[in-house]
Amino acid sequence: MNSAPNAPSSLKTAPPTGISGIPEMLLSFSLKARNSFGFEVLAEHAYSITHADQISPVIQSIEATGLPWRVLGGGSNVILPPLLPGTTLLMDIAGQAITQQDASGAVVSVGAGVNWHDFVIWTLDQSLPGLENLALIPGTVGAAPIQNIGAYGVEVGEYIQSIEAYDCHSKTMVNYPASECAFTYRNSIFKANPNRYIITHVHFYLPAVWTPRLHYVDLATLFTSDHVPTAEEVMVAVCKIRNRKLPDPKLIGNAGSFFQNPIVEQSQYLHLLDQFPELVSYPEGDAHEGKRKLAAGWMIDRCGFKGMRAGAVGVYQNQALVLVNHGGGTADSVLALAKTIQDKVQETFGVALAIEPIRY
């Protein structure tokens, strides 16, 4: 069993509320270690949620106050202000187990608070390949479906069987099969309906028949054509590429890709290609639609931002898609830099860049 990523550490605690099932309330809880930008952030109130049955009474008590609230996993895809008002639910539900297995594959059920990368390693230790291309993505298992995390040609939605969540509208636990989760590029019903679903467990289906997925050039070039790599070898290769390209949030604060790769119609793509023959892009969706996903990092680099610094924040020197906090940065300073980049990319390419991390 794996542990949840962040047990609450410090702090003054409020007197017991007397409502059964509600965990201890943490006051002025520091989220500096729980947001990968490393911003100085205080949550006015926080609860560490370690069991699904704590959610209903916590939501009831929050709704009675009318104050704002939100859910936080590992904080690796958020931009947090210095003070988070109201209540923050820290998703710390632990546990992972193979719940079904036969000759065709295995179902694995995992608590929302389990660390994503630890979980990927665990699946490989159980001889259950499939998730290796998604190794080293920071954050929790419960957040993975929110933006349908993806890397190196694989999206997590492809391996999800169903999702258990507390539905804040119906006030019940729901269990959605993947087919009802509307997984698309960096999106899902959970992201499209903020503060409606609180994911408690994710159930994965990992088929027994496995072949490595190496169609991403970076990955393919690490292997020779006469050797079919194992899932472990693919995972090691993915980690190697990521370590080369992406800053470790423990060393330099960041939230991974700060902008989504924009998807454009074929006509706009061809027009851009005419102006910028070296434009980097990938096919998107059904081939007959002809849509293209443009490499936002390439466009930002082409505008001259790679490695630039604006006070405490800047653009990562090895990957222009990543904005970083060199120390002492804030949500406002990183958003001001983002706006400068968005304006320049719009002016140069006529393309709008959408910010990927969620702003609070």
Ligand X SMILES: Cc1cc2nc3c(=O)[nH]c(=O)nc-3n(C[C@H](O)[C@H](O)[C@H](O)COP(=O)(O)OP(=O)(O)OC[C@H]3O[C@@H](n4cnc5c(N)ncnc54)[C@H](O)[C@@H]3O)c2cc1C
Q: Residue 123, interface with ligand X (CB under 6 A)?
A: no
Cα gap 160→333, rounded to integer Å: 37
- Contact assessment for residue 52 and residue 93, using Cβ atoms and an 8 Å cutoff: yes
Window contacting ligand X (CB under 6 A); options: 122-130, 146-154, 171-179, 208-216: 146-154
List 6, 48, 54, 77, residue binding ligand X (CB under 6 A):
77
Q: Residue 160, interface with ligand X (CB under 6 A)?
A: no
- Residue 244 among the catalytic residues: no
Selection from 150, 147, 148, 140 nearest residue 115 by Cα: 140
Q: How far is the CB of 274 from ligand X (least distance, A)?
A: 31
User: Nearer Cβ to ligand X, position 96 or 254?
Assistant: 254
Q: Residue 112, interface with ligand X (CB under 6 A)?
A: yes
Q: Residue 87, interface with ligand X (CB under 6 A)?
A: no
Residues numbered 236 to 275 that lie near ligand X (CB under 6 A) are 246, 249, 254-256
Q: How far is the CB of 21 from ligand X (least distance, A)?
A: 18
Q: Residue 73, interface with ligand X (CB under 6 A)?
A: yes
The H-assigned helical ranges of the chain are 55-65, 116-125, 189-192, 217-220, 231-245, 266-275, 296-302, 331-349
- Residue 242 among the catalytic residues: no
Q: How far is the CB of 69 from ligand X (least distance, A)?
A: 10
List 23, 74, 111, 212, residue binding ligand X (CB under 6 A):
74
Q: From the CB of residue 226, how many other CB atoms can be counted at a distance below 10 Å? A: 5
The active-site residue, picked from 34, 48, 164, 186, is: 186
The residue type at 200: T
Residues in binding contact with ligand X, number by CB under 6 A? 34
CB proximity list for 348: less than 8 A, separation 6 or greater: 299, 302, 303
The active-site residue, picked from 132, 155, 284, 356, is: 356
List 62, 71, 110, 128, residue binding ligand X (CB under 6 A):
71
Q: Residue 324, interface with ligand X (CB under 6 A)?
A: no
> What are all long-range contacts of 58-67, with beta carbons under 8 Å and residues at least 24 apart?
58/21, 58/22, 58/23, 58/87, 58/89, 59/166, 59/168, 59/171, 59/198, 60/19, 61/17, 61/19, 61/22, 62/86, 62/87
CB proximity list for 232: less than 8 A, separation 6 or greater: 124, 132
- Residue 257 among the catalytic residues: yes
The active-site residue, picked from 36, 162, 257, 281, is: 257
Rg (CA), the chain: 21
Selection from 239, 18, 260 nearest residue 138 by Cα: 239
User: Nearer Cβ to ligand X, position 54 or 105?
Assistant: 54
Question: At CA 156, angle to CA 256 and CA 175, rounded to 5?
Answer: 120
List 111, 129, 130, 139, residue binding ligand X (CB under 6 A):
139
Q: From the CB of residue 83, how many other CB atoms can be counted at a distance below 10 Å? A: 11
194 exposed, middle or buried (CB, 10 Å; 0-12, 13-18, 19+)? exposed
Window contacting ligand X (CB under 6 A); options: 144-152, 216-224, 289-297, 301-309: 144-152
Residues numbered 173 to 192 that lie near ligand X (CB under 6 A) are 190
Q: Residue 143, interface with ligand X (CB under 6 A)?
A: yes
List 23, 111, 142, 157, residue binding ligand X (CB under 6 A):
142
User: Nearer Cβ to ligand X, position 5 or 105?
Assistant: 5
Structure tokens at 105: 């594959």
Half-sphere exposure at residue 246, Cβ-oriented, CA atoms within 13 angstroms: 22
Chain centre distance of CA 197: 16
What positions carry a catalytic annotation?
186, 257, 356
Return residues touching ligand X (CB under 6 A). Answer: 36, 70-78, 91, 112, 137-140, 142-144, 146-147, 149-151, 190, 197-199, 246, 249, 254-256, 358
